[in-house]
Homo-oligomer: A and B are copies of this chain.
Amino acid sequence: MSDKIWTAALVVIGDEILSGRTQDRNIAQIASWLQVQGIRLAEVRVVSDDEDAIVEAVNALRARNDYLFTTGGIGPTHDDITVDAVAKALGVDVVVHPDARAILERYYADKPGGLTEARLRMARVPDGAELIPNRISGAPGIRHGHLFVMAGVPHITAQMLDGLTGELEGGAPLITETVGCWTAESEVADILREVESAHDDCQIGSYPFFREGRVGANFVVRSTSAEVLASAVDTLCEALGEEGHDFTPGGI
Contacts and interface: CB of A to CB of B under 8 A. Distances in A.
Contacts of A34: 20
Given A41-B20, A42-B18, A77 B185 contact: yes
A58 interface: no
Interface stretch (A109-117, A127-135, A140-148): A109-117
A119 to B, nearest CB: 4
The interface residues of chain A, by DSSP majority, are classed as mixed
A206 B79 contact: yes
Interface residues on A, range: 35 or more
B77 A220 contact: no
Contacts of A199: none
A226 interface: no
B45 A43 contact: yes
Contacts of A196: 78
A85 to B, nearest CB: 15
Nearest to A43: B47
A32 interface: yes
Interface of A: 12, 15-25, 27-35, 40-49, 53, 75-79, 111-113, 116, 118-119, 121-122, 153, 174, 176, 184-187, 189-190, 192-193, 196, 203-208, 220, 222
